[in-house]
Amino acid sequence: MDKELVLNIAYYYVITVAKSKPYNIQMKAILNEFNNKSIDINSYIETFETFNNNNEAFICKDFVYKNNLATYRKFYIASPSLYLYYTFQVFELYFDITKNIFNSSNIDIYYSGIVKENFKEIKENCDFNNQYEKYKKKQSEYKNNYVLITDIANFFDSISIDALLRKCDSLISSYRGREAINNLKSLFIKFNIVSLPQLHYSIASSLLSQIYLVDITKEVDQLLQQNNWVGVRFVDDFCINLNKKFTYKDINKFLHEYSNLLYRENLNLNLSKTKRLTPKNFEKL
């Protein structure tokens, strides 16, 4: 796909998200910088070194609290130009690898948005709530069944940049993908980022997190097939529909094998959120 087209997709994706969240500090900065302005395409399709020399690129830490108002997520705020450059490079990588990278037969996968070539679908596809509602709708089909729920502890913080880029390198299919990896590597080194960063409403980081799970997803898909189970995942939140003939031994065996797969990638189950739920408790959830 032409670089200019990918950049325009990234630009309209970022702008559309910003317009839907105008009071968020990151989105407000993006609207102030880009709204009703054309971008200098040439400055974005260059290497990161050239981009950094020609733009005021910076990033700083931010705090976003969870519902309990005591636990926070490690977020970043980036200059609008850097936010767009990061998104563009990840889109370049994504389109190089494959559009169907997140497909699996026994797991329905949702994340913060959907990336497609069609500009007309960007407004719907970039809405976090749309994707989350689709996840919840699929999850609700498991009603009246026993389910197993789990997620990954400190998911983004546990994904090291070195391991992530190695994973991307194993999946690329062209020189364009190699360029994107090199530019992302330079960006991360420049700002001393060692684990996958969370930026406000960033589809880019969400895409990278799912790329990191590609190998695990394939093997977990096979584990579900062996048990005649199906599951649905939103980013790292995983809900599995257990068939009526399951035993505790089946669940323990699955969790043991799943934990081994995660451990291989320096990830761990969040044990406090790993539960087998009865139909009644699942309905409450």
Q: Please give the Cα distance from 271 to 211 (Å, whole number).
A: 24
Read off the tokens for 184.
């992302």
Q: What is the pLDDT of residue 62?
A: 86
Q: What is the residue-wise DSSP string for the chain?
A: --HHHHHHHHHHHHHHHHHHSTTSHHHHHHHHHHTT----HHHHSS-HHHHHHHS---EEEEEEE-TTSS-EEEEEEE-HHHHHHHHHHHHHHHHHH-TTTT--SSEEEE-S----S-GGGHHHHT-HHHHHHHHHHHHHTTTTS-EEEE-BTTHHHHSBHHHHHHHHHHH--SHHHHHHHHHHHHHHHHTT--B--EETT-HHHHHHHHHHTHHHHHHHHHHHHHHT-EEEEETTEEEEE--TT--HHHHHHHHHHHHHHHHHTT--B-GGG-EEE-HHHHHH-
Read off the tokens for 132.
């989350």
Q: What is the pLDDT of residue 266?
A: 96
Q: Are strands 72-78 and 59-65 parallel, antiparallel or unpaired?
A: antiparallel
Listed in sequence order, the residues at least 6 apart from 36 whose beta carbon sits closer than 8 Å to its beta carbon are none
Q: Please give the Cα distance from 238 to 149 (Å, whole number).
A: 6
Let me know if 221 is exposed, middle or buried by CB neighbors in 10 A (0-12, 13-18, 19+).
middle
How many other CB atoms are there within 10 angstroms of residue 22's CB atom? Answer: 11
How many other CB atoms are there within 10 angstroms of residue 136's CB atom? Answer: 13
Per-residue pLDDT of the chain in tens (285 residues, 90 and over written 9):
789 999 999 999 999 999 999 999 999 999 999 977 778 899 899 999 999 999 989 999 887 776 666 566 788 999 999 999 999 999 999 999 865 566 788 999 998 888 888 888 888 888 888 999 999 999 999 999 999 999 999 999 999 999 999 999 999 888 889 999 999 999 999 999 999 999 999 999 999 999 999 999 999 999 999 999 999 999 999 999 998 888 999 999 999 999 999 999 999 999 999 999 999 999 988
Q: What is the pLDDT of residue 128?
A: 86
- How does pLDDT run across 46-75, given as a tens digit for each residue? 999 999 999 989 999 887 776 666 566 788
Model pTM score? 0.93
Q: Please give the Cα distance from 254 to 49 (Å, whole number).
A: 46
